[in-house]
Structure 1
Amino acid sequence: MAGLSRRQFLARTALLAAATGVSFDRLGPLLHAGSVRAASAVDVPTTLAQTILQGGVQKGRYRTLVTGPGEPYIPRLDVLRATANPDRAAARRSLLYLGHLSDLHVIDAQSPGRIEPMIVQDHSAWGSAFHPQDPMSVHTTAAMVRAFSDARYSPLTGAPMSAAIVTGDSADMHSHLELRWYIDLMDGLTVNPASAGATYQGVQAWAEAVWAYRPKDPAGGAFGEYGFPTLPSLLAEAIATPVPSVGLPAPWYAVYGNHDTLLLGTFDLSPPLHALAIGGRKSYTLEATAGSVLAGYAATGSALQQAGDALGLALGRSGFRSVPANPARRLFEQREFMAEHFRTEPTPGPVGHGFTQRNLDTGETWWKTDLSPHVRAFGLDTCNQVAGPDGAVPDTQFRWLEKELEQAQAEQKLALIFSHHNSLTLENRAQRPGETEVLHGAEEFIDLLLRFPVVVGWLNGHTHLNQILAHTSSSGGFWEITTASCIDFPQQQQVVEIVDNRDGTLSLFTTVLDHASPAVPGTGGSSADLAARSREFAANDWAESPDMRRGSPLDRNTELLLKAPFDLSRITDAALEAQHMTERARIVAYEDRIDA
């Protein structure tokens, strides 16, 4: 099939120059060169070239990290269930190149609204309440955004990034400040992590919190016994300098995660917690935390009881220290999560990041959008608003998606499903008294998706590990792709590319990204060094199995083959070239901004 004619190319270049503000004389040669480059792979820093692995023990049981060899793509035929065409690589063309982020867990570690001492009760059960790397979450997220910027052209085909999706758990502790930090980092703004002023105020700086990792002197607690290093300046470095972000190189979209819905992704928000979050007292003992925060959940619910809980905070209890209050730490309500996505930069956009005015007006928390003329995305809210970290699909969303997929099938649009929860965590049917809406679990949801051959992928997170599952029926199937997180090792995310093999099959290529920081952290206190230190700390979480979260080689760099759901030749080369020109022009404008 022929691409654009010279006249069409020039006309489209003129339109894109006007839209992006890049001069025609500069944009034209770049778009022409990009068309050539899109036919072949480019040099992109991904785990195809290098991996980061656990190294040897340095002290006690504490390990540092080392670089390892890259990992090539591994073909998977679980859905295709046929021999792949050995000549497909020479014929393939890119239909969509997509960034996938999940479980960023941006953390204001100095917030009084955190319940870190709960880890004392049970490290395994409450490990997400406290991590040694919490103060470096902003630096880690900025380094991950840099990795997506570095990978803005596909390492496989050279195609430009079309879009990016964030599949939930962005604000770790429901803090408005964390929510703003995450959006600003995606948008390319600078974030100031010094939420309590020039001196770090939190459990990791306090000698009384012997249960925590205290980098100035880890002795006397479990982290010191494990072998965590003494780093006297670490906390000061973590808040010393505002953290810049290059921003994502393509339009990005978002869905809810359980941490964006409930306290620690598990509990409803109580009046005492609302008061604690914006107040000037922070707990450092289990007793203080349980007595002042969790007691609210056992309260009668009366106004008198709630006032008493709040008054107890105001008068003070043992196990608290005074800290600077910050009203920006207020806990956001459900619709505010959507509303904050409208307070965003015009580029990379879009305003709302998937959410629309209809979402704000109705309270619906799910959406659809076309990522390209040929690929339609559906963003779902699988979070349970009552209790529990796992989720389900409410019947209202289930029926909406069913109708939308019928339309996508009729229009011959490839469909991607985005949600926070995956098929292993979609069975939470908790409801309040009197609620009657059916909540669909994984089996029903998978059966729904299998009815529509245009569904080629379901991208999600939640379990903080790389995992790829095949879902099949007698006529075909789709791929479920779960990415890891930015808080737990290996602190990886991924890019996904849909490729037409021009032989009646599609391939979804998954490529894992490490964030843009060295395997061995430096000592200069730079943002990249702090991100590297965060990854090293995460690799030493003894209550977990950090290396397990990498997944197997079949869950990382893969080629996931499946049968094309319709004749893909209806997508002409000219239409595809026009799509890539638009995406490439947008990236050229992005490169001009970050260079400036």
Structure 2
Amino acid sequence: MPAYSRRQFITGASAAAAALALSYGPFASAATRDRALATTATRAVRTAGTTLEQVATPTGGGAYKRLQSGPGWPLVVRTDLAAAGAARDDRRTALASFVQFTDLHLVDTESPVRFEYLAQYLDSAHRPHEALTVRGASALVERINSLSGGPFTGTPFSLVMATGDNTDNHEQIELDWYLSVMSGGAITPNSGDPKRYEGVQNSGGSAYWNPESSFQDTYKAHGFPQIPGFLSAAGGTFTAPGLRTPWYTTVGNHDDSIEGSLPDLGLLNSLYTGDRKLEGCDDADAAALADALRNDPAKAVALLARLLGEGGPVRQVTSDPRRLPFTPKEFARAHLNPAYTGPGPVGHGFTSSAADSGRLYYTFPVSDGVLGISLDTTNRAGFADGSLGTAQLNWLESVLQSHSNHWYDTDGHPVRGGQSNELIVIFSHHTSGSMGNLLPDPYNPFEGRHDGNALVALLQRYPNVVAWVNGHTHQNQIIAHGHAVPERAFWEINTASHIDYPQHARIIEIADNGDGTLSLFTTLVESAARYATDFGDTSDAGLAALYRELSYNDPYATPAKKIGTPADHNTELLLAKPQG
């Protein structure tokens, strides 16, 4: 990759600029923000199309907020793990530039295996905008296609990595939508009867937003609009442009289990493809089922079966064999289908061996001198959180050793190893703090499981591991690991989902500063959808805009928490360069 060595700002002002960016926060004055944005602009190659330029901002005094363009978020320089050299912008050489998508949650909203009636207890059970997930994801693809490269190095993206929960209920039809969004093609985001919508949003139930009806449901009490034709437009066929950049997939718990929480042992397949959909239950049963989903998957399955058997608001829907869940082997095999190759690579990280074995972890080149490792942190025993099996942990250590010329053993003693010393970026769905699910995997019951602390400890033994990129929490958060020993430090970069507001993806650039440090630039991006909405516009563009605004107004969501702090947004993460 080319070296970018521009005189971007006065050398003596570098420390002051870093301090200014760090001082920017949610209560900073407009003048402070504007100075930080001006400093950011002098350091960037370009800011257009990113949250460095503009950010969706709520406006209005009512319960339902409209969105408009607001000031961008400045770069925050984080020196938790290394000092910022004064002249690093003049010496910088780009090493890698890529994009992270995460938690797209493409939803079959008409599926019988959904728990929409639990929204008051589990905010992910139902979202008012979920009929638009496929169009929202396609608008995100449009945004990435419009960008020529990273904002701080200008380097074109080598790849897009989707770090899990690409589907919502690991149905084959949802997987088809995901692969089509990424590779391009015609998509009809509708299941069952292709001529009508058969989900909860035209049920007349007060617990759901009924967008086409004048009925005053709970959501309309929060200011949600009536939008004639919304559901038929949302389920209509459209053409997704597909990425122009090679892309890869990491598996998440929603790609692996029922609603991302219940073990899929094949016991509910007839319910998936059947013609009965439960649309509600009383509050006591809803609370019990929500608790069981969090704490006792077996109890949750039994309670769900009872609710369906006892009647209640059960709706007759059109059965659809495309709703059948996929196995890990089928997940890998679908990626190998030539219809979904798009810009490549063939298999998008998965090989014929993965399709035969169901082993969904692999390595791939991020760029020359930078290796990517995609992990499978799901646990098929159920529950949302994850862990690693012993076989995968041992495989990971063997890969780290083969791509490192030195590391530390478990007692902290230095070890010399292989000839190469590539920089390494780890990708997974789960974060270090959400890998505490140590239940035995029912498909490998005698294999040990390992938590996030074990993975952090392993990664810190390899100085050339520079970043761990993940999702799952639906929250922007960046964590520094290894403050005490610079050579054993790395950054954990967690990005919010693209289903819950703020619906972000993240650009990550790695650069050598020529002074013994690396900079990892992390820049958040929104979809290409316009900010302004028109309740009378159900075109593709109009629906993409509504997707963002409706997500902000979801009464069960917590956007302020998920957005994160300025130190989790657009950042320059300093790190000591590994010595080889």
State the AA in 2 paired with 1:464. Answer: H
The aligned residue for residue 455 of structure 1 is 465
The aligned residue for residue 142 of structure 1 is 138
CA distance, structure 2, for counterparts of residue 381 and residue 393 of structure 1: 7
Distance 1:193 1:316, change over 3 A: farther
2:490 is aligned with 1:478:
yes
- The CA deviation at 1:422 is 0.4
2:235 is aligned with 1:225:
no
2:202 is aligned with 1:205:
yes
CA distance, structure 1, for counterparts of residue 467 and residue 269 of structure 2: 39
The aligned residue for residue 19 of structure 2 is none
CA distance, structure 2, for counterparts of residue 528 and residue 366 of structure 1: 36
2:172 is aligned with 1:176:
yes
Contact preservation (8 Å) 2:333, 2:352: no
CA distance, structure 2, for counterparts of residue 127 and residue 299 of structure 1: 20
2:557 is aligned with 1:544:
yes
- The CA deviation at 1:279 is 2.2
CA distance, structure 1, for counterparts of residue 108 and residue 480 of structure 2: 37
Question: Could you say what secondary structure the match of 2:525 adopts?
Answer: strand
Find runs of 4+ consecutive structure 1 residues off by over 6 angstroms: 287-297
Deviations 1:487-537 (A, max 9, x none): 100011111011111221111100100111011223321223212212111
- The CA deviation at 1:2 is 10
State the AA in 2 paired with 1:557. Answer: N
Deviations 1:257-293 (A, max 9, x none): 0101111111023656311222233221226998999
Aligned length: 516
The aligned residue for residue 109 of structure 1 is 109
Deviations 1:413-438 (A, max 9, x none): 01000000001111111126893422
The aligned residue for residue 362 of structure 1 is 357
CA distance, structure 1, for counterparts of residue 579 and residue 72 of structure 2: 35
Structure 1 stretch displaced more, 466-475 or 128-137: 466-475
The aligned residue for residue 45 of structure 1 is 49
The aligned residue for residue 440 of structure 2 is 431
The aligned residue for residue 13 of structure 2 is none
State the AA in 2 paired with 1:132. Answer: P
State the AA in 2 paired with 1:421. Answer: H
TM-score, structure 2 normalization:
0.83
The aligned residue for residue 512 of structure 1 is 524
2:155 is aligned with 1:151:
no
Distance 1:52 1:432, change over 3 A: closer
Contact preservation (8 Å) 1:415, 1:456: yes
CA distance, structure 2, for counterparts of residue 365 and residue 193 of structure 1: 26
Distance 1:454 1:270, change over 3 A: closer
Unpaired runs of 5+ in structure 1? Answer: 4-38, 568-596
The aligned residue for residue 27 of structure 2 is none
Unpaired runs of 5+ in structure 2? Answer: 4-42, 406-419
Distance 1:272 1:216, change over 3 A: farther
The aligned residue for residue 251 of structure 1 is 246
- The CA deviation at 1:71 is 1.8
- The CA deviation at 1:297 is 6.9
Structure 1 stretch displaced more, 430-439 or 387-396: 430-439
CA distance, structure 1, for counterparts of residue 289 and residue 90 of structure 2: 64
Distance 1:399 1:432, change over 3 A: closer
2:418 is aligned with 1:414:
no
- The CA deviation at 1:558 is 0.5
The aligned residue for residue 214 of structure 1 is 210
Contact preservation (8 Å) 2:341, 2:347: no
Distance 1:363 1:270, change over 3 A: closer
Contact preservation (8 Å) 2:289, 2:300: no
TM-score, structure 1 normalization:
0.81
> Paired residue for 2:570, among 554, 557, 565?
557
> Paired residue for 2:452, among 425, 439, 442?
442
The aligned residue for residue 397 of structure 1 is 392
> Paired residue for 2:184, among 181, 188, 212?
188
The aligned residue for residue 581 of structure 1 is none
Question: Could you say what secondary structure the match of 1:129 adopts?
Answer: coil
Distance 1:300 1:48, change over 3 A: closer
The aligned residue for residue 582 of structure 1 is none
The aligned residue for residue 566 of structure 1 is 579
CA distance, structure 2, for counterparts of residue 191 and residue 495 of structure 1: 27
CA distance, structure 1, for counterparts of residue 127 and residue 439 of structure 2: 28
Question: Could you say what secondary structure the match of 1:416 adopts?
Answer: strand
**Percentage of identical aligned residues:** 36
